Structure 1
Amino acid sequence: MNKLPVPLFAASALLASLSAQAGPDWAAIEHARQAKHAPPLPGDGEALANAGRLCGAPAPLPWLDHGPRAQGTPQQNRARQARHEAERKSCEGAAQ
């Protein structure tokens, strides 16, 4: 009676391991390679993101967390925004 579960367990383990031996999906890999090497489209997201940017990095987002482990304060947010505006104005002045 104890000899029956051992072959059944071995067979189920063998069947379960067959899915792990499956090879890679070469069609999906080749599709990803072709998409990676494709030239960007004119209406691509990066072009749209750079269209609104006049000079330098985008405006900094405020740190909204003011809890017990806050990373910043409203005063620091105002200082970061003022520093960004000064950098943007100096960059625009240099570009003209």
Structure 2
Amino acid sequence: MIIRLLLFIFIFAYSATGRALDYSLSGFLSLGAGLMNEEGYNSGDIDDKISFNNDTILGVQLSTHFSTQFSGTLQVIARGHSLDDSNHYQPSVDWLYLT
């Protein structure tokens, strides 16, 4: 799904402008670890083994200028924590905007 969306944006931009794309790609990683060192406390997925899932986020941002007056930005993130405990680090579109 994400790859199709990115391809659509690039194809649209290339056909609309007829020139080279002006784009930038950046990313970030926020790495967090958790460990419970006391018995009897309940803190979600954190237990007596070190875990990176609860606080870790990986993100990629793509920005492109279709023309001098039209640009777009897409941010995709993958969170380590999931509510149903089955989609750890599943990529999702965090936001997409056109200006």
Task: Indicate whether the TM-score tops 0.5.
Answer: no
Q: TM-score, normalised by structure 2?
A: 0.19
- Which of these two proteins has the greater Rg computed from alpha carbons? 1
More strand, by proportion = 2
More helix, by proportion = 1
Which one scores higher on RCO, CA 8 angstroms, separation ≥ 6? 2
